[in-house]
Amino acid sequence: MFIWIKNLDRSIMHYYFDNVYSLIKQIGQRKLEFLFAFFNRNHGYSFFIELGLIQPDPKELFKGIFIPYVPNSALQQMVGLIGSVLMPHNLYLHSSLVQEKKIHKQNIGLLKKSIFYFKIETGISLLVSFFISMAVIGTFAFWYVPGGGPDIDLTQAGDYLDSHFGIYAKYIWGVGLLAAGQSSTITGTLAGQYVMQGFIKFNVGKFKRAFFTRLVAIVPSILIAFLGDSNQDFNNYLNVLQAIQLPFAIIPLLKLSYNKQIMGNFTIGKIEITLLSILSAIIIGVNYYIQVPDSIDWSQFQVYIVIIVMALYFLFMVIILFTKLKLQLQSDQDQTNNSKIYEKPTYDLKQIQKTE
């Protein structure tokens, strides 16, 4: 009943947080990274404390890590966990953050070193994310009962922790949830900024952009809150939206990474593109599989509308997949103005030897 009020309040809070974030970014990218580290650290600490209070069986915990097994009933949770890491806006965000690094793009040696360190940084981030996810799953697996048990969602989790481990467990969980939400909100807004500036060429002031994006975000939130019967419906709609958007980020990324004209000597190999394509197809396929209902009422007219829309959607995806990229050469003035957005690598061996 009051979900839309919560969404409105959350959007206003996020507007102020985004303004603070904009001020921090003016200081430097390193300060921005410290801000993300602060939120993620609090998130991780909170759930590891919760995991310590619950005290799960270490043997079963390590068994689940090294001998993974996914029952049919947990397929949706598994895909949701993958989606929480491989979100569409994160692909845009990581590409843009790498692009902002001040690197001499004609120095192949420095580029290779930068790529190497970025791989290490990404690996460490995914490893930390894995352990945090393990702590979250381990915390709420405490109430799992084979064959049926209480259906715990975000609105009930705090009360369950309070009833079993005390009021402090509830507060610790709240701090971790708040930190995770703010980190996710800032990264989403930042990714939207890069898309508007780099692709749509929509340049506005930072505070106006934050106000505009929050205003746009409030409308669908209120609509979903009114149309959905519960918070669980709200989360399901968000998962469907993530599944729909994911191919639009993955397919162009793979095509650009495999394009010799764009990547030059840093094009990914055939083995890499094959493995990445297979993994991407599996992730996209499973994402859609879990959204298909068990039974369909063919007497409903809305079913046929959905089928037509999905057919057009998949047709568009096929067009994106098989359309060849055509690069339009920029003038010298455009290249100067858009140097932070795109810079085709040109290599001068004599200049490289001098700089080294």
138-196 residue pLDDT tens: 877 776 655 555 666 777 778 877 887 788 888 888 888 887 777 777 777 777 777 77
How many angstroms separate the CA atoms of 341 and 168, rounded?
A: 47
pLDDT for 351 beyond 60: no
In terms of average pLDDT, the best of 18-27, 228-237, 276-285 is 276-285
Q: Which domain range does residue 333 map to? A: 3-355
CA 336 to chain centre: 31
How many angstroms separate the CA atoms of 81 and 264, rounded?
A: 34
How many angstroms separate the CA atoms of 234 and 302, rounded?
A: 20
How many angstroms separate the CA atoms of 317 and 281, rounded?
A: 12
Which one has a higher pLDDT value, 339 or 277? 277
pLDDT for 240 beyond 70: no
Which one has a higher pLDDT value, 119 or 238? 119
Residue type, 288: Y
In terms of average pLDDT, the best of 54-63, 193-202, 241-250 is 54-63
pLDDT in tens, 31-41: 777 777 787 78
101 touches 114 (CB < 8 A): yes
Number of structural domains in the chain: 1
Looking at every residue in the chain, the average pLDDT score rounds to 71
pLDDT at position 4: 46
pLDDT at position 20: 56
pLDDT at position 106: 73
Which of the residue ranges 43-52, 64-73, 79-88, 259-268 would you say has the lowest mean pLDDT? 79-88
- pLDDT average, residue stretch 238-252: 75
pLDDT at position 232: 57
Which one has a higher pLDDT value, 332 or 181? 181
What backbone torsions phi and psi does residue 149 show, to the nearest 5 degrees?
A: -175, -175
pLDDT at position 350: 45
Q: What percent of the chain has pLDDT over 70?
A: 60
pLDDT at position 21: 56
pTM, to two decimals: 0.66
Report which DSSP code applies to 328. P
Which of the residue ranges 208-212, 249-253, 262-266 would you say has the lowest mean pLDDT? 208-212
pLDDT band at 282; cut points 50, 70, 90: confident
pLDDT at position 331: 46
How many angstroms separate the CA atoms of 266 and 53, rounded?
A: 48
pLDDT at position 217: 63
Tokens describing residue 264 = 């030059």
pLDDT at position 339: 40
